[in-house]
Amino acid sequence: MSTSVLTAVAWPYANGPRHIGHVSGFGVPSDVFSRYQRMAGNRVLMVSGTDEHGTPILVQSDKEGLSPQETADKYTRQISQDLRGLGLSYDLFTRTTTGNHAEVVQQIFLALHRNGYVVPKTTTGAVSPSTGRTLPDRYIEGTCPLCGYDGARGDQCDNCGNQLDAAELKNPRSRINGEKPEFVETEHLFLDLPAFTESLGDWLSTKTDWRPNVLNFTKNLVDDMRPRPITRDLDWGVKVPLDGWRDQPLKRFYVWFDAVIGYFSASVEWARRSGDPDAWKPFWTDPDAQSFYFMGKDNITFHAQLWPAFLLGHNGQGDKGGEPGPYGTLNLPGEIVSSEFLTMSGSKFSTSRGTVIYVEDFLREFGPDTLRYFISVAGPETQDTDFTWDEFVRRTNFELANEWGNLVNRSISLAHKNNGGVPAPTAPAPADEELKALSRGAFDTVGTHLRHSRFKQAAGEAMRVVSAANKYLSDQEPWKLKEDPDRRDAVLHTALQVVSDANALLTPFLPHAAQKVHEALGGTGVWAAQPECHDVEDLDIPGRTNPILTGDYSHEQATWESTPVEVGRPLEKPSPLFAKLDASLGETGPEWAPIQS
């Protein structure tokens, strides 16, 4: 029976192009998972978009001499193209500057406010002594008071993941000119997080099967239930829909508050664009629906503590009770799938430090599936992992080109040369049935790993079938069976069947190559559908055009099962599936890439 599966993917800031460290955390894992779920017959809604409010956009706008909206427009379009090139099969990749998003954010806030989970509080705000301008938190850096990391921002420490206030930093300094900021009193709205201590704690206690890195981080979340600010002194963001607040020029929702609501607002926008405005409900209100949130480890707090608190408050299910908000009772996250960091020479990828490999550059030179495969089999699934060109070249040459590409090429080439198409298995032998049983059984094994987001193990099991098929061909030597055509045909039929099976097993990881293999086996039509970029009119803001990433995946033929190859189907001589890379690339990388120490 089909299950509604929500794939909620972290929202990248629209302040620059994406690098491969970004997509190793939120992008590739979420797409591998979603493609598998669709192949397994489930109804999937994969949503995200660009995070366009708050100080990251303001910082970049100042650097480039653009308005915040111009900056967001520029990078949203570029990021959408990057993700399309990587083949990330979003049902909707949108943005947070839509009218729809603002409306949903305000409605969630008003429900929290009505149920008593929002409180005003006087706090301190940073001001530049030389200019008198308000300094948003991300303009301030200093030493984290919790872990001692020198480079923590005024809103969050990327080293330990904890949320901070700028006034808490040791030795705070402005990112603009290095001066020490002054702190003055200002009023803001806070989420009364302590009012979720019991309800949130009870919910977290049920999540015993999450990844170890998420479980370890969440153990202490309920011990740090302080009120959290949800507004900031900015002129760029969603306005606060309360009297005395909505007309203040420097009061907006804090970017982290509005961004996490984006999972739901994107679902609402997708439904509205589908022609059925209630289409989001099976994914958000059905108790049997499943939801999976994909992100890097620096976002665990927002998804395992704060977003669930928003939902509990909206639903009237916090410790204070209350009434359900305008969207009814919404499902809390089912699973938080958090990856660690992809590093280079032991350091986190960083645009500002020059330790960066942009997705656009990578795709232009190597194509999407080599990167997708590397992230799946050698990425930071459960621990920080160093990217090296040597490992990338090794994986590409020996696993994709030599193992998988070679199996596809010689199986189809031999059948084309000797039969012109798929031969009949006229003289089967025990070795044939043993190999076919292995490939059929892999669907259960690989599928179980993918359902639990164990991508390395899943890919490893799929490649085990490929290795077994290569060994089978080498052992059976069909090129030497000219005098025994019946046995030769049985061997080639078996090889083609296992190529077909392995192609299905590898489709979530290698969707572009999977389409080529489907066609090389004589198939027609779309095997693995790809997303497309479109410009669409904003649903609520007249004259505004937004770039989105979306796709129609309902017509793709890929299914999670062994499908018998059709005897007699014509076959053409195949083209190489993956080109081998020059071994010297492993030593230095391409000219445009940063040098590794």
Cα gap 51→72, rounded to integer Å: 9
The stretch 582-587 carries a mean pLDDT of 90
Taking only the tens place, the pLDDT of each residue in 253-304 is: 999 999 999 999 999 999 999 999 999 999 999 999 999 999 988 888 899 9
Q: Is the pLDDT of residue 597 over 70?
A: no
Cα gap 555→254, rounded to integer Å: 40
Q: Is the pLDDT of residue 353 over 80?
A: no
Q: Is the pLDDT of residue 354 over 80?
A: no
The DSSP line for 5-55 is EEEEE---BSSS--BHHHHHHTHHHHHHHHHHHHHTT-EEEEEEEEB--SH
Query: Which of 50-64, 154-168, 369-383 shows the lowest per-residue confidence on average (mean pLDDT)?
Result: 154-168
Measured at the CA of 261, the angle between CA 255 and CA 267, to 5 degrees, comes to 135
Taking only the tens place, the pLDDT of each residue in 309-321 is: 999 999 999 999 9
User: How many other CB atoms are there within 10 angstroms of residue 272's CB atom?
Assistant: 16
Query: What integer pLDDT is reported at residue 212 of this predicted model?
Result: 83
Taking only the tens place, the pLDDT of each residue in 104-133 is: 999 999 999 999 999 999 988 888 888 666
Cα gap 34→89, rounded to integer Å: 8
Q: Is the pLDDT of residue 174 over 60?
A: yes
pLDDT tier at 577, thresholds 50, 70, 90? very high
Question: Helix crossing, 55-64 with 68-86: angle to 10°?
Answer: 100
The answer to whether 152 and 141 are in contact (CB under 8 A) is yes
| pTM, rounded to two decimals | 0.93
Cα gap 124→200, rounded to integer Å: 28
Which of the listed ranges 51-60, 229-238, 494-503 does the model predict with the highest average pLDDT?
Answer: 494-503
Q: Do the bridges between strand 118-127 and strand 92-95 make them parallel or antiparallel, or are there none, so unpaired? A: unpaired
Query: What integer pLDDT is reported at residue 133 of this predicted model?
Result: 67
Taking only the tens place, the pLDDT of each residue in 68-111 is: 999 999 999 999 999 999 999 999 999 999 999 999 999 999 99
Share of the chain above pLDDT 90, in %: 78
Query: What integer pLDDT is reported at residue 496 of this predicted model?
Result: 98
The answer to whether 507 and 528 are in contact (CB under 8 A) is yes
Element (H, E) at 347: strand 347-348
Taking only the tens place, the pLDDT of each residue in 316-342 is: 999 999 999 999 999 999 999 999 889
Cα gap 495→429, rounded to integer Å: 13
pLDDT tier at 587, thresholds 50, 70, 90? confident
pLDDT tier at 596, thresholds 50, 70, 90? low
Query: What integer pLDDT is reported at residue 59 of this predicted model?
Result: 79
**In 3-state terms, what secondary structure has residue 342?**
strand
Query: What integer pLDDT is reported at residue 346 of this predicted model?
Result: 74
322: left (phi over 0), alpha (psi -120 to 50) or beta: left
Taking only the tens place, the pLDDT of each residue in 8-40 is: 999 999 999 999 999 998 899 999 999 999 999
pLDDT tier at 569, thresholds 50, 70, 90? very high
Q: Is the pLDDT of residue 425 over 80?
A: yes
Q: Is the pLDDT of residue 507 over 80?
A: yes
Average model confidence (pLDDT) for the chain? 93
Q: Is the pLDDT of residue 444 over 60?
A: yes
